[in-house]
Chain A
């Protein structure tokens, strides 16, 4: 047996042993209580009729149930409604049921003839709806009335989201929940989003919340040591692939007391997603369709070929006074006698237009739901097809789901959910194509002209030209059309749950969830996309990455909810949870396959350039939780929990962590002195405190590992220590405090929820703390310090108008969050690495005790129009002279850089009037943390059938760096520029605010206020008109329900910002040195969505 097999056998054994522990003990429990008597059979007869029309019910079910409600015997009624059933005991119950009727249960009580009339079920369903009260589910198993919840949470029902064009729920949630921030990562199909609940509690590492799907943690992260060969992780098939149509509701747990029950990984907040389940009734089939069109908006105007080829020689000339050598740069020779160069480099190509197409999406979903007393089901199947706005990008997805509930008896219930997702996602080989297309020289032709001046069908991919070569630049059209990164993913998540009520007050359940997630990513980079010669290892590169994730989660719950009399309630939970994931990854790449048609690394190629890697990682965690809620009357509630976590990612010294939580709610409106104020439905105060822990991302870090070099030395393999062992790494703990306030007035027509919170992250992880390189390493993972995340949120729900015809809702939310570092390792850098002589970057500092987000730089004052203007001035405005009486010119960073400003250069304000622009002239320029963010919007319903839903999102009072302006006007390299540069300084005396073109030199685009803008905005995010077809019409066409709606997204943005996209958050968000910069060259795309939903 090879060692590998031994390992996997050992692994399997471990899985089984954990499953067995849980399963065996569960079975013991089952058998501990139940033995039932057997006796002689007695036949009972009778007839079943409809209560209204007294007609017999044919095929109705008659069943004998024992005292636990378990079915022991069964029979069906005949054509006259008659039945005969042999029962075991005259003490049993008989149940009578038929589809569409209310089930009747009657004790036999010694009778042998029983006649029954059944009542149609419709009335019952309504009754249930009226009585139902929404319960807050923290996912653990306790069911606590939302009214009595002690924690901060927000829930949104899927109804509110179904009209949006998003392909995944994270996109749809954007802006809807207070305190939850979503950031788009890219506009390509299948791209994921980053979700942040109440800011980021971590200075580095993952900040994504834990997703809990139907009570079980749902994996949304790729292990850190996986590399998919493609440009970015988002290229990998998105993980949050739950079809929006299957979702019933989504709850965000925000305060630490709520998340404490989820222990490790919940430190970033918890998002609970519940999917739809079957309901009693006839099968109901629902079909929904959503189709949308997406058009890439017009980009900012860029130079055309003629303007560009005027700019470049001028830029080169300004560098050192020598003209551009058009012999070696024939791109600019424009010599008709040299037809090959002349034709290929004399066009006005709009590269963006070349790679852009009209995007569309279609999403079909069919679901069927129904069931009876014993079994209920919800099944759905969905198909989504999307074509992106960049050529060569698309997404295909099939989702299917079946949720089954089966009641064996009133004490034993099964639940089985199976979800399957299949994803085909094609992306470009690199996600930089759009950038390259913006920068690409517009005088170059996309298709090659031959020597006679005829356009051919070959892509024009020169191996290099003045702009450089692959990977810096290439023919974007060839790259979009011929290179690809294709990912193919399958994810199956079967989940089984067994519930057993040991007694009415003591219940238990056991869950097991398997998560099988396999992904394959193939990429290929053909020669024609790079233009490089076929002998180079950068061409015909084929890669194949295969990642198999397997995860098994066990959960065992004991719930105790005794009856303590009228005034008191108690629910207690003891939970055991284990989690094991095994990830296997394999990657192969080869270059120089013989042809661009051989696109798999298995094809013979120059193996010397190919490489192979694989790894296998197992990690385990264990959680033990005790949680209880006690309520006194309608007024006082207290909830406490303690959780122990164990995680295999820690060394033996720090493997376990204990995380307590406590929360209380006081309902003032329940007190005597408030009783008289009828108009107050609820007035409560809440307070909570809780801790949750976070484990590091990487496995096995507490070992000192030795690796092989990937090359030999004199034919021998060498081994080196690859890391240092991390024996000091301990749990990162988030300690959260929250004060909440709930007010509901006028029969819930006005509801206000307000929260103030303070989350302190202690022993904050930092994965890459720089350490002195004399250690032989560059960084180390450590617990680096303490950071606070604090802020407030207010959510307002109102119903200003409610008549028979009109129903108007208005919702509003607003939030503010700031990050402050309270203490940090002395080795953590205090300022970003920006040097004074670096163009295009701003200086930021880490200031202990001050919020993040401020940036510093120079004040831009225009352009020196002539040499006279560059003479240095002192405080009084008179010229500065040197000891010999010579006039001194303005200098930059004397004496280290010592550049003398020339006419046409940017003027920076000389704050201290010393004639020298240096770090002493850097001033505060702005802060990119918004004062407030949120959303609002009305929803208007007319006669219940016509509905208008409008939603606005906003972000106010923050400064954004207009990176687009910076990159398209710097005239520093050979990249194409915007038409703004047509106003550039060219000759002494020119008065303008655009400096001269200067290739790779000078300081014309230092980080200055020239690019800083107030980016406050209010955006009309979506507007939907929906029409539900009237009941009478539906009855005629035999439909249960039908509606049509039209949604438009990103219709308009109110802002003073002159760039393309003000809605930019700080990328990564957890770097104290980050500032927000908008590099978009197009505004967000406007989408138009048509949706149809029909039920039968």
Chain B
């Protein structure tokens, strides 16, 4: 009897131990594992679209807007502005401020890195997927990565350069900050690859505006070169776009048709790259600008000083002001909230229709970038010409015209800057534009920035703020506390070190 028993136990143990490892091996039943993914060209396509999809996620566009506008002079706060937001606006910036988090951008960078790292292996498994197809997808990933680092460069200056995908806990690493030059060089490197391999068109207008084309890359290049004062290259990049004859300014036959084409519908002939919000994925602006508890208004100076008003003839007005950039009656930021329809109807978009695209680059922007570069190449006359093209299209008022000395780069450049404020109001550009002009030639024109920052400041703290901004380090946001605790190699911007 005992013999029988031991045999059975033995058999049982053998059976069990051989099968139990297999029995404990379970695979998830929802979702795809990396091992199953990256097999076909469709997988690469889905991952590329995934990168764009992440651009719509909050708070990325919110970050782009707030970093580009809050420290500048065209926005004012309401009673509902959050503490963090109003602290940025009043230059009371601490590293605990949630707006100093760069998380959303690096998330997109990780998706780019993932595609860059894994897409090449599809060449082995999908014979229909050719090197050129791969390069075109890589170009999109490199361009978006370059764009994200360019925003980081302008906002934080020195940031860690993460260039590999985070796919396993075994590959986690702690990076130090890279210097401004290193980051800039990386951006240029990414963009060079993208410029070489990106498609010129996807044979579809929406795709051409919503995905990276060669012209998207040129636009980022132009902006980046100008940031580092490489004027020749900036002009060259702009000329590639201008010379392609694929883009033009939307004419202003009527203010409403111009507004609808360019901003309400989006993806117009003027546009170069837009984030494609739609009814499935709304932009973050409704609660920021439209709702009764909105957090931001156009500053009162925008109408009075930027666009100016013709008090004698009300039919004459800058088309880009009232009912385009803002609604003058209550200061609502209109560019992303305005509803389609005739000019009489001044209702904003309802919440469910809040999907105006976020325009990253458009033709008018390129013309003005070029104008600024020309000014510093001593081609002031050409620069003024470009500015006038923009002014004419926008029906700018005589009262906002200047007559700068074409031989003075600073004068022309300041005029371009003023025109950029009118043309690109609330498009997340203002702070970067002013900072770029202020820091040029070793902060030659720092005054530009100092004059701007006191506009929003309460009188009693103006002096404190001016003193703060005299330190160039203060022009860049601090590294968020979170990042400092999680990576001991990061060193805080000296201005914010306690």
Question: Do A776 and B110 have beta carbons less than 8 Å apart?
Answer: yes
Most central of A25, A469, A703, A719 by chain B CB within 10 Å: A719
Can you report 28 A-B residue pairs in the complex whose CB atoms are below 8 A from each other?
A14-B23, A18-B23, A28-B4, A32-B4, A33-B1, A469-B293, A502-B1, A622-B20, A622-B23, A704-B168, A706-B34, A709-B50, A714-B206, A718-B47, A718-B54, A719-B32, A719-B47, A720-B50, A720-B111, A725-B34, A772-B483, A773-B101, A773-B103, A773-B482, A774-B487, A776-B107, A833-B96, A896-B92
Question: Do A502 and B5 have beta carbons less than 8 Å apart?
Answer: yes
Q: Mark A757-779, 1 if CB is under 8 A from B, else 0.
A: 00000000000001111111110
| A408 to B46 Cα, complex, angstroms | 64
Question: Do B169 and A725 have beta carbons less than 8 Å apart?
Answer: yes
Instruction: Say if the beta carbon of B109 comes within 8 Å of chain A.
Output: yes
Question: Do A700 and B26 have beta carbons less than 8 Å apart?
Answer: yes
Question: Do B33 and A717 have beta carbons less than 8 Å apart?
Answer: no
Q: A616-B30, A620-B26, A725-B34 are in contact. Are A898 and B464 (CB under 8 A)?
A: yes
| A895 to B497 Cα, complex, angstroms | 12
Would you give the shortest CB distance from B79 to chain A, in whole angstroms? 9
Instruction: Say if the beta carbon of A726 comes within 8 Å of chain B.
Output: yes
Interfacial residues of chain B within 341-359, with CB under 8 A of chain A in the complex: 350-352
Q: Which B residues are in CB contact (< 8 Å) with A464?
A: 292-293
Question: Do A775 and B172 have beta carbons less than 8 Å apart?
Answer: yes
Instruction: Say if the beta carbon of A835 comes within 8 Å of chain B.
Output: yes
B125-133, B273-281, B315-323: which lies at the A interface? B273-281
Size bracket, chain A contacts: 35 or more
Q: Which A residues are in CB contact (< 8 Å) with B464?
A: 895, 898
| A711 to B58 Cα, complex, angstroms | 13
Instruction: Say if the beta carbon of A782 comes within 8 Å of chain B.
Output: yes
Would you give the shortest CB distance from B28 to chain A, in whole angstroms? 4
Q: Mark A613-631, 1 if CB is under 8 A from B, else 0.
A: 0111111111000000000
Would you give the shortest CB distance from A871 to chain B, in whole angstroms? 19
Question: Do A709 and B54 have beta carbons less than 8 Å apart?
Answer: yes
Question: Do A646 and B166 have beta carbons less than 8 Å apart?
Answer: no
Q: Which B residues are in CB contact (< 8 Å) with A711?
A: 53, 56, 278, 280-281
Instruction: Say if the beta carbon of B16 comes within 8 Å of chain A.
Output: yes
| A716 to B140 Cα, complex, angstroms | 16
Q: Mark A723-754, 1 if CB is under 8 A from B, else 0.
A: 01111110000000000000000000000000
Q: Which B residues are in CB contact (< 8 Å) with A468?
A: 293
Would you give the shortest CB distance from A327 to chain B, in whole angstroms? 14
Q: Mark A886-902, 1 if CB is under 8 A from B, else 0.
A: 00000000011110000
Name A615's closest neighbour in chain B (CB-CB). Answer: B30
Chain B count of residues within 8 A CB distance of the other chain: 88
Q: A724-B168, A727-B170 are in contact. Are A576 and B16 (CB under 8 A)?
A: yes
| A898 to B467 Cα, complex, angstroms | 14
Q: Mark A421-443, 1 if CB is under 8 A from B, else 0.
A: 00000000000000000000000
Most central of B20, B51, B54, B211 by chain A CB within 10 Å: B20
Most central of A647, A724, A726 by chain B CB within 10 Å: A724
Instruction: Say if the beta carbon of A1085 comes within 8 Å of chain B.
Output: no
Q: Which B residues are in CB contact (< 8 Å) with A782?
A: 169
Q: A726-B169, A776-B111 are in contact. Are A29 and B279 (CB under 8 A)?
A: no
Would you give the shortest CB distance from B216 to chain A, in whole angstroms? 14
Q: Which B residues are in CB contact (< 8 Å) with A718?
A: 46-54
Q: Mark B262-286, 1 if CB is under 8 A from A, else 0.
A: 0000000000000010111100000
Question: Do A770 and B486 have beta carbons less than 8 Å apart?
Answer: yes
Question: Do B166 and A835 have beta carbons less than 8 Å apart?
Answer: no
Question: Do A705 and B33 have beta carbons less than 8 Å apart?
Answer: yes
Q: A608-B280, A717-B49, A720-B50 are in contact. Are A706 and B32 (CB under 8 A)?
A: yes
Most central of B24, B51, B206, B293 by chain A CB within 10 Å: B24
Q: Mark A8-50, 1 if CB is under 8 A from B, else 0.
A: 0000001001100100010011001100000000000000000
Q: How many Cβ-Cβ contacts under 8 Å join chain A to chain B?
A: 232
Q: Mark B56-73, 1 if CB is under 8 A from A, else 0.
A: 100000000000000000
One of A469, A724, A826, A897 near B169 (C-beta < 8 A): A724
Q: A704-B34, A719-B37, A829-B485 are in contact. Are A775 and B24 (CB under 8 A)?
A: no
One of A535, A616, A775, A780 near B106 (C-beta < 8 A): A775
Name B29's closest neighbour in chain A (CB-CB). Answer: A616
Most central of B8, B48, B49, B111 by chain A CB within 10 Å: B49
Would you give the shortest CB distance from A536 to chain B, in whole angstroms? 7
| A718 to B483 Cα, complex, angstroms | 28
Q: Which A residues are in CB contact (< 8 Å) with B166?
A: 724, 775-777
Q: Is the interface of A mostly helix, strand, loop or mixed?
A: mixed
Instruction: Say if the beta carbon of B210 comes within 8 Å of chain A.
Output: yes
Instruction: Say if the beta carbon of B174 comes within 8 Å of chain A.
Output: yes
Q: Which B residues are in CB contact (< 8 Å) with A706?
A: 31-34, 37, 47
Name A711's closest neighbour in chain B (CB-CB). Answer: B281
| A21 to B352 Cα, complex, angstroms | 58
| A711 to B24 Cα, complex, angstroms | 35
- 3 tightest Cβ-Cβ pairs between the two chains A and B: A776-B110, A718-B50, A718-B53
Instruction: Say if the beta carbon of A110 comes within 8 Å of chain B.
Output: no
Q: Mark B130-168, 1 if CB is under 8 A from A, else 0.
A: 000000000000000000000000000001101001111
Instruction: Say if the beta carbon of B43 comes within 8 Å of chain A.
Output: yes
**With contacts A537-B352, A727-B168, A773-B102 known, what are 8 further pairs, Cβ within 8 A?**
A464-B292, A614-B30, A616-B30, A618-B29, A647-B24, A712-B49, A725-B167, A775-B106
Q: A29-B8, A772-B483 are in contact. Are A728 and B169 (CB under 8 A)?
A: yes
Q: Which A residues are in CB contact (< 8 Å) with B49?
A: 712-714, 716-719
Instruction: Say if the beta carbon of B433 comes within 8 Å of chain A.
Output: no
List residues of A whose CB falls within 8 A of some B CB: 7, 14, 17-18, 21, 25, 28-29, 32-33, 464, 468-469, 502, 535-537, 558, 576, 608, 614-622, 646-648, 652, 655, 699-700, 703-707, 709, 711-714, 716-722, 724-729, 770-778, 780, 782, 826-827, 829-830, 833, 835, 837, 895-898
Most central of A620, A712, A775 by chain B CB within 10 Å: A775
| A709 to B481 Cα, complex, angstroms | 29
Instruction: Say if the beta carbon of B330 comes within 8 Å of chain A.
Output: no
Q: Which A residues are in CB contact (< 8 Å) with B43?
A: 719
| A773 to B162 Cα, complex, angstroms | 10
One of B34, B103, B169, B210 near A713 (C-beta < 8 A): B210
| A663 to B103 Cα, complex, angstroms | 51
Name A719's closest neighbour in chain B (CB-CB). Answer: B46
Q: Which B residues are in CB contact (< 8 Å) with A617?
A: 28-29
Would you give the shortest CB distance from A643 to chain B, in whole angstroms? 15
Would you give the shortest CB distance from A527 to chain B, in whole angstroms? 16
Name B5's closest neighbour in chain A (CB-CB). Answer: A32
Q: Which A residues are in CB contact (< 8 Å) with B175?
A: 772, 774
Q: Which B residues are in CB contact (< 8 Å) with A700?
A: 26-28
Q: Mark B450-477, 1 if CB is under 8 A from A, else 0.
A: 0000000000000010000000000000
Question: Do B8 and A712 have beta carbons less than 8 Å apart?
Answer: no
Q: Which B residues are in CB contact (< 8 Å) with A773?
A: 101-103, 106-107, 482-483, 486
Instruction: Say if the beta carbon of B337 comes within 8 Å of chain A.
Output: no
Q: Which B residues are in CB contact (< 8 Å) with A722?
A: 31
| A553 to B428 Cα, complex, angstroms | 60
Interfacial residues of chain B within 477-495, with CB under 8 A of chain A in the complex: 481-483, 485-488, 490
| A558 to B276 Cα, complex, angstroms | 66
| A771 to B482 Cα, complex, angstroms | 9
Q: Mark B1-37, 1 if CB is under 8 A from A, else 0.
A: 1001100110110011001110111111111111101
Instruction: Say if the beta carbon of B207 comes within 8 Å of chain A.
Output: yes
Instruction: Say if the beta carbon of B77 comes within 8 Å of chain A.
Output: no
| A727 to B276 Cα, complex, angstroms | 37
Q: A622-B24, A648-B26, A724-B167 are in contact. Are A32 and B8 (CB under 8 A)?
A: yes
Question: Do A727 and B169 have beta carbons less than 8 Å apart?
Answer: yes
Q: Which B residues are in CB contact (< 8 Å) with A14?
A: 23
Q: Which A residues are in CB contact (< 8 Å) with B352?
A: 535, 537, 608
Instruction: Say if the beta carbon of B328 comes within 8 Å of chain A.
Output: no
Would you give the shortest CB distance from A499 to chain B, in whole angstroms? 16
